[in-house]
Amino acid sequence: MFRKRINADEARELFLNSFPPIPEIEVLPIEACDGRIIAENIIASIDVPHYRRAAMDGFAVIASETLGAGPGSPVMLRLANTIEKGTCVRVHTGSPMPEGADAVVMMEDTELLDDRVQILAQIHPFKNVGAIGEDVRKGELIQERGHKLRPCDIAVLASLGIRSLKVFRRPLVVIIPTGEELVQRDKKYLKPGEVYETNGLMASMYVKKWGCDVRLLKIVTDSPDLIKEAILSNLDADMVITSGGTSVGKRDYVPAVVDSIGKLLVHGVGISPGKPTALGIIEGKPVVCMPGYPVAGIVALFYFARSAIRKLGNIPDEQDRIVRAELSEKITGRTGYKTFARVKLDNGKAIPLSTSGAGILSSVSKADGFVILPENVEGFNAGEEVDIVLIE
């Protein structure tokens, strides 16, 4: 029997509150840090730039000497290597400003005559000069612990001369496919009643995409002892995902096994498909038990496993890829359940796919995304514009 069915959000909150993030940190070269979560605050130890720089190609000058200069009234300066009264120095974008110069006259406003330069525009002090620290100021907090690093962030850190960073360790997730009907994917032909193992494979790829290391076990048959042994011998991992055996049939042992060696928090969730999802904790490690029906499984993965991975891995929440489109047909939710309806995008319209059939994995593969119907929404009508969460 299921426990009392729990609302999807409540179930998730209960689950997420029952384990802590992984505190361990590792040090990596910055080149390897794209997508990793920084585990330290970074204070800039130098100014960037650390010297006054020309912001244009042209001539560095003492601005006050250009007073009154214009196309009809050029000021003549001598081309030199240092600045003193009456001289200017050739500079390129980014090159250091010569001492004494306080502005750059851009090339277009000058005329070079051998060793002299006609200045054809009057400029103000600091014009076309990049100040010390204009990009990053020494002492500034430049990265905050907990941020997911992007290449542009890493480039800024590299500009400070930083060559390695402390980042949070990736979670290691063990994935345990269960079910006596399953056969390994290297078997050539299927007998009636046999099904290739695909949920574990799918889970392993999503979990990797979400920033984890993965250990995908071989199929465990429907035996409480073997399931228990598979879990207990993999608790060096940070999280366990099982697939299959979560319903209330004779061969559905997984929730009871979780409860026998840990604490079963939830069994039966108001999510559709995905009701037979179970959630628990074993030795402090979160356990997500995906239903064996693949669509239910993927919903459990997206809704529970991904959130758990974010918490474990200190990964900030991320905006989903969402498109808005008009429904071509009505979709209805299951009363009291958060319903994940699959839709295909076609010419800017959202076309609902078979919303029944938790066993029809191809309906996910044919779908571009989910329309998520809250528990209190009966459905959306044809022609209504809805948010579609694209399936990664």
Contacts (CB under 8 A) with a copy of itself, residues 285-304:
292-294, 298
- Least gap, CB of 88 to a copy of itself (angstroms): 15
> Would you give the binding string for a copy of itself spanning residues 363-392, x where CB under 8 A is met?
-xx------------------------xxx
**DSSP secondary structure code for residue 302 in this structure:** I
223 binds a copy of itself (CB under 8 A): no
Q: Which residue's entry shows tokens 């509150």?
A: 17
Please pick, from the candidates 28, 43, 190, 382, the single residue that binds a copy of itself as defined by CB under 8 A: 190
Q: How far is CA 352 from the centre of its chain?
A: 28
Under a CB-based contact definition with an 8 Å cutoff, are residues 202 and 139 in contact?
no
Q: Could you say which residues in the range 252-291 bind a copy of itself, by CB under 8 A?
A: none
Q: Could you say which residues in the range 338-357 bind a copy of itself, by CB under 8 A?
A: 357
Pairing verdict, β 369-373 and 116-119: unpaired
Please pick, from the candidates 20, 67, 114, 186, the single residue that binds a copy of itself as defined by CB under 8 A: 186
**Please, where are the H alpha helices in the chain?**
8-16, 151-159, 199-209, 224-232, 254-261, 294-300, 306-312, 362-365
Choose the stretch contacting a copy of itself; rule: CB under 8 A; options: 9-17, 73-81, 89-97, 257-265.
Answer: 89-97
Choose the stretch contacting a copy of itself; rule: CB under 8 A; options: 6-14, 61-69, 75-83, 94-102.
Answer: 94-102
Indicate left, alpha or beta for 347 from its phi (over 0: left) and psi (-120 to 50: alpha): left
If the CB atoms of residues 293 and 380 are measured against a copy of itself, the closer one turns out to be 293
Under a CB-based contact definition with an 8 Å cutoff, are residues 216 and 200 in contact?
yes
If the CB atoms of residues 316 and 374 are measured against a copy of itself, the closer one turns out to be 316
Under a CB-based contact definition with an 8 Å cutoff, are residues 212 and 311 in contact?
no
- Least gap, CB of 123 to a copy of itself (angstroms): 17
If the CB atoms of residues 106 and 261 are measured against a copy of itself, the closer one turns out to be 106
Please pick, from the candidates 6, 39, 48, 305, the single residue that binds a copy of itself as defined by CB under 8 A: 48
96 binds a copy of itself (CB under 8 A): yes
Q: Which residue's entry shows tokens 């729990």?
A: 6
Q: How far is CA 141 from the centre of its chain?
A: 22
- Least gap, CB of 287 to a copy of itself (angstroms): 21
d(CA 267, CA 5): 7
d(CA 77, CA 58): 13
Q: Could you say which residues in the range 193-222 bind a copy of itself, by CB under 8 A?
A: 193, 195-199, 201-206, 208-209
359 binds a copy of itself (CB under 8 A): yes
Please pick, from the candidates 55, 237, 266, 288, the single residue that binds a copy of itself as defined by CB under 8 A: 55
Please pick, from the candidates 68, 151, 225, 347, the single residue that binds a copy of itself as defined by CB under 8 A: 151
**Please, where are the H alpha helices in 126-285?**
151-159, 199-209, 224-232, 254-261
Choose the stretch contacting a copy of itself; rule: CB under 8 A; options: 49-57, 63-71, 118-126, 261-269.
Answer: 49-57
- Least gap, CB of 152 to a copy of itself (angstroms): 4
List residues bridging with 334 in a β-sheet: none
If the CB atoms of residues 172 and 281 are measured against a copy of itself, the closer one turns out to be 172
- CA distances (Å), origin 295, targets 122, 235, 277, 362: 71, 27, 12, 9
The structure tokens listed for 372 are: 């998520």
> Would you give the binding string for a copy of itself spanning residues 129-148, x where CB under 8 A is met?
-x---xxx-----xx-----
d(CA 334, CA 324): 22
d(CA 339, CA 269): 11
If the CB atoms of residues 99 and 283 are measured against a copy of itself, the closer one turns out to be 99
